[in-house]
Amino acid sequence: MLSFLPVVVGILERGFIGAFIVMAIYLASRVMKFDDFSIEGTFGLGGAVVAWSLLHNTNPWLALLLGCIAGGISGCITGLLHTKLGLNKLIAGIVVTTMLFSVSINIGGANVALGNAPTVFSALHNSSFASLILLASMALAVAFIFIWYMKTESGFILKSTGINEQFVTSLGKSVPLYITLSLIMANALSALAGGIFVQYSGFFSAFGNVGILIAALAGCMIAELIAINMFIMALFGSIIYQLIIAITIELQVEPSWQKLITGLLIVVILVVKKLENKKIKGSVAA
C-alpha cells in the first residue's frame, strides 16, 4: 500500500499542474469558442522564461509571474492576429506557437537543468506532501479566482462573446477586446503551468510542450463528462488523465505510445458523449 503512495502523490501533483492548462483550454476553446493552438507554445514559453529567470537568480515566484506575463503577451498577439488582421483562429494560433518555439529555445536553450537554483518547491523538501499541498492550493486558488471572475460584469460579457458576438456588439461592447482578453488569460495560465512544471521537474526542454495541448484537451473532455463547475472539474479531469497515463505505464506500455493513447482517449470520450446524447434523445422521444 505504502509503495503506491508516491505514485498516487505523483499523479495528483502532475494532475494539478495539468489543471492550469485544462482551465486554459476550457477558457479559450469552450467559453470563447476559440481553439487556440498557441496554448501549446506558451506552455514552452512559460517554462523557458522561468528556467532563464531562475538561472539568473530571480525569485521563483517572480519567475512564475514573468512567465505568466510572457504567456499573456503571446495570447494578446494571437488575439490581435485574429481580430485586427483577420487571420483564421486556428492559423493565428499555429503561427504564434511556431514563432514561440524559436523564442523559447533562444530564451531557455534546448535542454536546461536548473541545478541548485531555488524553486518554489525548494523549501518543501522535508515534507512528502508539501509539494502536493502547494500545487493543490495554487490550482484551487486559480480555479476559484476564475469562478469569481465569471460572475463579474467582465466575466458575463466574456461568456456572452463566446456564445453570441452580435449580442455583445449590441451592448456597445468591443468583441475583439473580449476575445483578446480571454486569450491573454488562457495563455497566461498555460505559461504558468509551463513555469510550474519546470520548477517541479528541475529542467526545461524546448520539446517538453509537444502534445501538451492534446493532453489538456483530453483532461478538458474528461472534466466535461463529470462537469458541475468546469473550473473545479478541470482539476479532476487533469488528475484522471494523469491516472490513465500512469495506468498505461504500470501496464508497461512504451512511453512512445503515450500520444497515441491520448488521441484514442479523446476518441473514446467522443464516442461516450455521442452515446449519451443518443440516450437522452431516445428518452425524450419515448
Partner 1 sequence: MINLENVNVEFGEFKALHNINCSINAKDFILILGHNGAGKSTLLDVISGRLTPSSGKILRNNVDISLLSEAKRARFISRVFQNTNMGSVATMTVAENLAMATLKCKTAGFNFAIKNFPQQIVEETLKPLGLRLEELLNTPIGKLSGGQRQIITIIMATLCEPDILLLDEPTAALDPVSTENLLQFVHNFTKNRNMATMMITHAEQQAKFLANRTWVLQKGKLESN
Burial string for 125-160 (b: 16+ CB within 10 Å, else e) reads eeeeeebbebbbebbeebbeebeeebeeeeeebbbb
Residues that bind partner 1 (CB under 8 A): 152-153, 156-157, 159-160, 163-164, 166-167, 169-175
Please tell me the number of Cα atoms within 13 Å of 170 on its side-chain side: 5
Phi first, then psi: what are they for 113, rounded to 5°? -95, 140
Residue 273's alpha-carbon distances to 232, 276, 277, in angstroms, are 20, 5, 6
Residue number with CB closer to partner 1 (51 or 158): 158
Instruction: Supply the minimum distance, in Å, between the C-beta of residue 171 and partner 1.
Output: 5
The nearest distance, CB 26 to partner 1, in angstroms, is 15
Cα–Cα distance list, 188 to 42, 80, 255 (Å): 8, 16, 29
Rounded to the nearest whole angstrom, what is the least distance from the CB of residue 225 to partner 1 in the complex?
Answer: 19
Q: Is 275 helix (H, G, I), strand (E, B) or coil?
A: helix
| Cβ-based nearer residue to partner 1, 115 or 172 | 172
Instruction: Please identify, using beta-carbon distances, which residue of 10 and 173 lies nearer to partner 1.
Output: 173
CB of 51 to partner 1, least distance (A): 41
Q: How far is the CB of 206 from partner 1 (least distance, A)?
A: 40
Closest contact distance (angstroms) between CB of 156 and partner 1 is 6
**Closest CB to partner 1 among 175 and 227?**
175
The C-alpha atoms of residue 152 and residue 10 are separated, in whole angstroms, by 35
Residue 30 or residue 253: which is nearer to partner 1 going by CB?
Answer: 30
The CB-of-30 to partner 1 minimum distance in angstroms stands at 12
Q: Is 186 in contact with 39 (CB distance < 8 Å)?
A: yes
DSSP bridge pairs for 113: 203
The DSSP call for residue 184 is: H
149 or 203, CB closer to partner 1?
149
Nearer to partner 1, 161 or 262 (CB): 161
**Minimal distance, residue 119 CB to partner 1, in Å:** 39
The answer to whether residues 11 and 5 touch, using CB atoms and an 8 Å cutoff, is no
What's the burial of 210, exposed, middle or buried (CB within 10 Å: 0-12/13-18/19+)? middle
DSSP E strands in 139-273: the ranges are 203-205
Query: Is the CB of 163 or the CB of 247 nearer to partner 1?
Result: 163
Q: Where are the beta strands (DSSP E) in the chain?
A: 111-113, 203-205
